[in-house]
Amino acid sequence: MRNARKTAGRVLAVAALAGALAVPQAAHADPVTSTAWASVGSVDIMIDDEHIVTPELARCAVDASPGERTQGGATGDIAVFGAGETRCGRNETAAIGQAYGKRFQADVLKRFGGPVLTARTFEAKCATSKDGSSGDVRLGTVTGVKVPENIPANYRITVPGKAGETLATVTLNETVVPDPADGSMTTHALHVKLFPKGGPASGDIYLGTARCDPYGKAKPKP
């Protein structure tokens, strides 16, 4: 993988995402095992009184499924996912989850007069050990919204509608950590949240998700 602070070729944005500090091992009565999982993307929205769900595509999980592939497909006129792949596993020190793919398109905002959002390529990764978690997100060309050449962590764009309403927020290079921090982390390459202030639709579309938890799996007692 290329250095997280460099761009190359057609990659528009590359950003290293700092991990939260983990809870000290001594605070746990039982030994624990770090965990990680990843997915190419998902849809969970309410629109026109219809609940539309696309479960996590090609989901992998450490110690359960080392990797999955998807050829992608369309969720009605909501979003189209291209081919993608996930990988989950361990090295000597960490549990790792990774998702990557290409040719994503979100059409859902068109019905409200908004733009079509696309991402040419994407990658989301996280790794976790007893010292905490870290993440890495890469995005190829993004269209439909204006983005800087180098996208910082949690870069949020508001998509305006008529009469001052907000059709959606689009967050690129998203990092989610709990408060208070416990060492876990979730990264999303792209996250569309529909009508965050209320409106005719609600819910979320995610592209490229990787989640890590250094204390996610306690070993059973003998």
Number of helical (H) and strand (E) elements in the chain, helices listed first:
0, 16
Whether 222 has a pLDDT exceeding 80, the answer reads no
For range 138-165, the mean pLDDT: 93
74 φ/ψ angles, rounded to the nearest 5 degrees: -105, 140
How many Å apart are CA 5 and CA 52, to the nearest integer?
Answer: 37
Band of the pLDDT at 146, cuts 50, 70, 90? very high
Contacting residues for 62 by C-beta, under 8 A, at least 6 apart: 34, 35, 36, 37, 88, 89, 90, 95, 96, 97
In angstroms, the first-to-last Cα distance of the chain is 40
Closest CA to 144 of 161, 128, 157: 157
Whether 219 has a pLDDT exceeding 90, the answer reads no
Domains of the chain by residue range: 13-216
Determine the pLDDT at residue 31: 56
At 88-121, the pLDDT tens digits run 999 888 999 999 999 999 999 999 999 999 999 9
At 20-53, the pLDDT tens digits run 333 333 343 445 689 999 999 999 999 989 999 9
How many Å apart are CA 97 and CA 108, to the nearest integer?
Answer: 28
Q: Are 141 and 149 in contact (CB under 8 A)?
A: no
Whether 154 has a pLDDT exceeding 80, the answer reads yes
63's tokens:
């110690």
- Which letter does DSSP use for residue 91 in this model? -
